[in-house]
Amino acid sequence: MTTSPEKSELILVTGASTGMGAATARELAARGYYVLAGVRREIDGRSLESSRIRPVILDVTEPEQIADLAALIDTDGRPLRAVVNNAGIAVNAPVEVLPMQEWRRQFDVNFFGHIEVTKAMIPALLKSHGRVVMISSLGGRLAQPTYGAYSGSKYALEGVSDALRRELAPHGVTVVIVEPGAVRTEMVGRGGITLKKVAADMTDEQERRYGGLMQAILAQSEGFLRDGVDASHAAETIATAATVSRPRTRYTIGRDAALLTRLARILPDRLLDRVLAAALRPLFPRSR
């Protein structure tokens, strides 16, 4: 890729330690922007650091770290072109089975963390007429079984993003939602590990109800790791959403996201239920 001329603008990318966040930081730097790449540990930022990428310690659930970053941006002097709210985790299990602390952890990272980062950056974005890019998910438009907590956090993010877009548009700040489908990232693998841990703590009765389903979802997740789009491909769409002069309000990533978000809009709920069940059925363990 040919490196673009350097631009005197900042872009903040949260959740940049790995996966789409790291790929997006590199893509934006290649397009000439100066990137503040939010990572949770110093070691996570070492592979990212370059003349146009500055790793910054940022756990989106830590208000003091968010405040420190807002102060850094305020004193930097360069305009804040965009905030890419990418940090996220996936905690999958049936509603009945998932412990409440895991529900809270899911929302703290995927929803409340994004809101707190965005609120802290709005003063800088108002000055620059910048942009908020919310990384939602196909799961923010379509909730599969065991995705209750994850989809709940993403549905909430979509609703708040719509409200925020309408609040800030009169003041020159745009808000864009990006909805990835299956992407090969570490988050998918970590979600599978969490699912296995939750499954190990199920009662015998819960195992009878949900054991096959959880095995099918795990197999589906492994398919995402094998067949999903590469994080660098996702990063190109995210970088475009953050920088193009006239962005769409929503972007999808991957054919699955493009297709299923359309189906979710046009199919009756019961028919959509059958479509999703049919897609999972071959992944259930065979009865002996």
Active site residues: 150
Q: What is the dihedral of CA 23, 28, 32, 37, to 10 degrees?
A: -80
Find all residues with CB under 8 Å of 261, minimum gap 6, and list them: 138, 141, 142, 179, 252
Rounded-to-integer distance, Cα 179 and Cα 251, Å: 6
Find all residues with CB under 8 Å of 97, minimum gap 6, and list them: 198, 199, 202, 206, 210
Token output for 105: 């952890």
SS3 120: helix
Answer for the pair 26, 18: CB distance below 8 angstroms, yes or no: no
Beta-strand ranges (E) seen in 44-141 are 53-57, 80-85, 131-135
Which residues are 110's β-sheet partners? none
Query: Of 141, 221, 236, nearest to 184 (Cα)?
Result: 221
φ, ψ of residue 13 in degrees (nearest 5): -120, 115
H or E element: which one contains 168? helix 148-168
Cα-Cα-Cα-Cα dihedral sign, residues 41, 242, 153, 72: positive
Answer for the pair 17, 41: CB distance below 8 angstroms, yes or no: yes
SS3 13: strand
Rounded-to-integer distance, Cα 29 and Cα 21, Å: 12
